[in-house]
Amino acid sequence: MLLPSILRTVVPLLAGWVITVLAGLGLQTDSTTVAGGLALAVAAAYYLAFRVIERAAEKAGGPAWIRTAAGLLLGYARPPRYESTDDVQALIRASRG
């Protein structure tokens, strides 16, 4: 189940970049560091917003479509579920399955 985790990391980063590019159409920025930092901040805010919505809907017993929509906007409809274990080999086997 590594794919959901990867998708839920990459999609917000791409969304942050797209939002930053679209928002910057009227702005001229000479510093790539500022642009990169801004993209990172937007991506973090994007992830946090949709993760909070997804979690709140789950805890409150809200409509399933809200959880699904928030999850899809993070790249994968359901949050990954992790097993609590101290057995590293079992975790490696589970990530390959």
Distance CA 82, CA 79 (A): 10
Q: Is the per-residue pLDDT at 97 higher than 70?
A: no
Euclidean distance between CA atoms 69 and 50, whole angstroms: 9
Tokens of 4: 């959901």
Sign of CA dihedral 21, 24, 29, 35: negative
CA 80/CA 63 separation, integer angstroms: 19
pTM of the predicted protein model: 0.58
Both tokens of 40, joined, read: 């990172």
pLDDT band at 28 (very low <50, low <70, confident <90, very high): low
3-state secondary structure of 64: helix
Confidence of residue 51 (pLDDT cuts 50, 70, 90): confident
**pLDDT confidence of residue 88:** 76
